[in-house]
Amino acid sequence: MTIDIVRIPVLSDNYVWLVHDAASGETVVVDPAVADPVLAEAKARGWTISAIWNTHWHPDHTGGNAEIKAATGCTIFGPAAEAERIPTLDQKIAEGDCVHIGGHAAQVLDVPAHTAGHIAYYLPTANAAFVGDTLFAMGCGRLFEGTADQMFTNMQKLAALPGETRVYCAHEYTQSNGRYALVAEPENKAIVERMAHVDAARARGEATVPTSIADELATNPFMRATSAAQLADRRAAKDSFK
C-alpha cells in the first residue's frame, strides 16, 4: 500500500502536508494554513481531498479549513479539547482514537503544551508522524498554553516511536533551532555535523523537514532533556535566544 506525502510551503515558514493513498484515492490535508495552494496542488496531481487533520487551533494551521471544505466537501478532524476554537470541526478526536486514509489507520496522540489540546497523528504503515508545533527539527513548540512537564511527557512519548519514523512538523525552523542546539550542547558532534548539512540546504533554498525520530534523539536538546526542569530551562533560554 503506497502513501505519498507532499510538502506545500505557505506563508513565511509554514508547511502544509498533503497525504495521498493511491489504493483508495483518498487524500488528507494536514494543518492547512491557507486554502488556495493546497487546492491547486491537489488539482495538479488529480487528487481529491477527502479529509483535513488539524493538530491544534492556531489560525496558521486551520485558516484554510472552511474554504477547502466548501470546495471539496471533506471531513475535518481535530482535537476534541479545542473544538470550541475550531468552528469548522466535524469530528472531535483524542488519544485512543484512530483516523483513516484508505486502509491505513493513524493513531491519535495527545501532546498538549504548545496549546492545551494539541494532538499528533502517527501513521505506522507510512512510518510517519504529523506533529504540528509540538516537535520540530532540533526544537519543540513554545509553551503557550501548557507546562514544561507536559512537553517533557510529549518528548518521551514521541521518542518511543520507532527511530525510522519520519516527523512532519509544520514550520521551517531548523536553522534557528540548530543555532540554539549548538549552545545547549556544545560538545555534541552530531549537532555540529547536522548543522553543516542544514546550513548548506538552506543556502540552496531547500527544506530541512521532514526529520526523523532517530535524528531528533541525537540532536534535539528538548527531546534529549533528562528532566522536565532541564527542558524548562532550555525552553526559557531558547525563547530569548538571538
168 forms beta bridges with 130
Alpha carbon separation from 145 to 13, 37, 112, 160, 198 (Å, rounded):
22, 30, 8, 24, 30
Q: What is 3-239's CATH number?
A: 3.60.15.10
C-alpha cell at 77: 478532524
Q: What are phi and psi of 147, to 5 degrees?
A: -120, 165
Element (H, E) at 217: helix 213-219
Is 133 assigned a catalytic role? yes
pTM higher than the cut 0.95: yes
Is 56 assigned a catalytic role? yes
Which of 20, 21, 31, 58 is labelled catalytic?
A: 58
Q: How far is CA 216 from the centre of its chain?
A: 13
Which of 20, 21, 31, 56 is labelled catalytic?
A: 56
Which of 104, 114, 118, 215 is labelled catalytic?
A: 114
Which of 20, 104, 118, 171 is labelled catalytic?
A: 171
pLDDT in tens, the chain (242 residues): 589 999 999 999 999 999 999 999 999 999 999 999 999 999 999 999 999 999 999 999 999 999 999 999 999 999 999 999 999 999 999 999 999 999 999 999 999 999 999 999 999 999 999 999 999 999 999 999 999 999 999 999 999 999 999 999 999 999 999 999 999 999 999 999 999 999 999 999 999 999 999 999 999 999 999 999 999 999 999 999 98
Which of 21, 31, 110, 133 is labelled catalytic?
A: 133
What residues contact residue 148 under an 8 Å CB cut-off, 6+ apart? Answer: 113, 228, 229, 231, 232, 235
Q: How far apart are CA 4 and CA 9, in angstroms?
A: 16
Is 58 assigned a catalytic role? yes
Is 100 assigned a catalytic role? no
Report whether 134 contacts 141 (CB < 8 A).
yes
The pairing of beta strand 98-101 with beta strand 104-110? antiparallel
Which of 20, 21, 31, 61 is labelled catalytic?
A: 61
Is 239 assigned a catalytic role? no
